[in-house]
A and B are shown apart, each in its own frame.
Chain A
Amino acid sequence: MEDKKVYILGGYQTDFARNWARENKHIAAMMREAYQGSVEITKIEPGDIDAAFVGNFAGELYCMQGHLSAFFVDFDPRFVGVPTIRFENACASSAVAALSAMAYIQAGIYDLVCLIGVEQMKTVDAARGGDYLGTAAWYEQECTGIEFPFPKLFGKLGDEYDKRYGLDNNYLARIAEINYANAKNNPNAQTRNWFMNLEHANTCGKYNTTLSGRIKVTDCSQITDGAICLYLASERYAAKYADHRGLDIRDIPRMLGWGHTTAHIEFARKVADSAGDDYVLPVTRKAITDAYKRAGIKDCWDLDVIETHDCFTISEYMAVDHFGLTKPGDSWKAIEEGVIGMGGKLPINPSGGLIGCGHPVGATGARQLLDAYKQVTGTAGTYQVAGAKKVAMLNIGGIATTNVCFVVGTKN
Chain B
Amino acid sequence: MIEQIKCAAVLGGSGTVGSLSGGLIAQNGIRVYFLSRTAERAERGLERAIAQARSEVIARNIVCGDYEHLLEGALKEADWIVEAVAEDVAIKRQVYDKIESHMKAGAIVSSTTSSLPLDKLAEGRSENFRRNFLSTHFYNPPGRMLACEVTGQSDTDPDVVGFMRDFLRNTLAREVIPVRNVAGFAGNRIAFLLLARITALAEEYGVEMMDYLVGPYTGRLLPPLATLDLVGLDIHKAIIQNLCEHTNDRMHDWLVLPDYINKMIDNNLLGNKTRAGFYKKLESGRFVFVDPATCDYTPAIEPHIAFVEKAKHFIRMGMYKEAFDTIRAADGKEADIVTDILCAYVAYAYLLIGQVTESRFGIDGIDRVMSFGFNWASPSVILEMLGGRENVSQLLAKKGLTVPDTLQAERKSAMEILEAGKYFVAK
Contact = CB atoms under 8 A, between A and B. Distances in A.
A41 B419 CA distance: 13
A40 B318 contact: no
A26 B53 contact: no
Contacts of A25: 315-318, 426
B56 to A, nearest CB: 6
Interface string A188-199: 000001111101
Interface in B120-179: 143, 146, 173
B21 interface: no
A188 B331 CA distance: 39
Contact of A23 (B319, B418, B426): B426
A15 interface: yes
Contacts of A41: 415
A36 interface: yes
A32 interface: yes
Interface of A: 15, 18, 22-26, 28-33, 36-37, 40-41, 74, 184, 193-197, 199-200, 203, 205-208
B414 A26 contact: no
Given A195-B55, A203-B56, A26 B317 contact: yes
B55 A29 contact: no
A26 B54 CA distance: 30
A206 B56 contact: yes
A40 B418 CA distance: 9
B426 A203 contact: no
Given A28-B317, A40-B418, A200 B426 contact: no
Contacts of A206: 56
B57 A40 contact: no
Given A32-B318, A37-B415, A200-B57, A24 B27 contact: no
Interface residues of B, number: 28
Contacts of A28: 317-318
Contacts of B414: 40
21 contacts: A15-B419, A18-B422, A23-B426, A24-B316, A24-B427, A25-B316, A25-B426, A26-B318, A31-B318, A32-B317, A32-B318, A33-B418, A36-B418, A37-B415, A40-B415, A184-B173, A195-B27, A195-B54, A199-B57, A205-B56, A207-B54
Contacts of B318: 25-26, 28-33
Contacts of A197: 29, 57
Contacts of B316: 24-26, 29
A15 B418 CA distance: 11
Contact of B56 (A26, A32, A207): A207
B42 interface: no
Contacts of A37: 415, 418-419
B421 interface: yes
A154 B27 CA distance: 30
A196 B50 CA distance: 12
Nearest to B426: A24
A383 to B, nearest CB: 15
Contacts of A203: 55-57
B58 interface: yes
Interface string B52-92: 01111110000000000000000000000000000000000
Contacts of A23: 422, 424-426
B371 to A, nearest CB: 12
A40 B143 CA distance: 31
A82 B397 CA distance: 45
Contacts of B424: 23
Interface string B384-427: 00000000000000000000000000000111001101101111
A30 B319 CA distance: 11
Nearest to B319: A32
Contact of B58 (A31, A193, A195): A195
Contacts of A22: 425
User: What are the 3 closest A-B residue pairs judged by CB atoms, nearest first?
Assistant: A29-B318, A24-B426, A32-B318
A203 B315 CA distance: 42
Nearest to A18: B422
Given A23-B425, A26-B318, 11 more contacts: A23-B424, A24-B315, A24-B316, A24-B427, A29-B316, A29-B421, A32-B319, A40-B413, A74-B317, A195-B55, A196-B55
Nearest to B312: A24
Contacts of A24: 315-316, 425-427
A364 B288 CA distance: 43
B173 A193 contact: yes
A352 B295 CA distance: 52
A23 B427 CA distance: 8
B258 to A, nearest CB: 31
A206 B54 CA distance: 8
Contacts of A184: 173
Interface in B227-261: none
A193 B57 CA distance: 17
B317 A29 contact: yes
A337 B173 CA distance: 29
Nearest to A15: B422
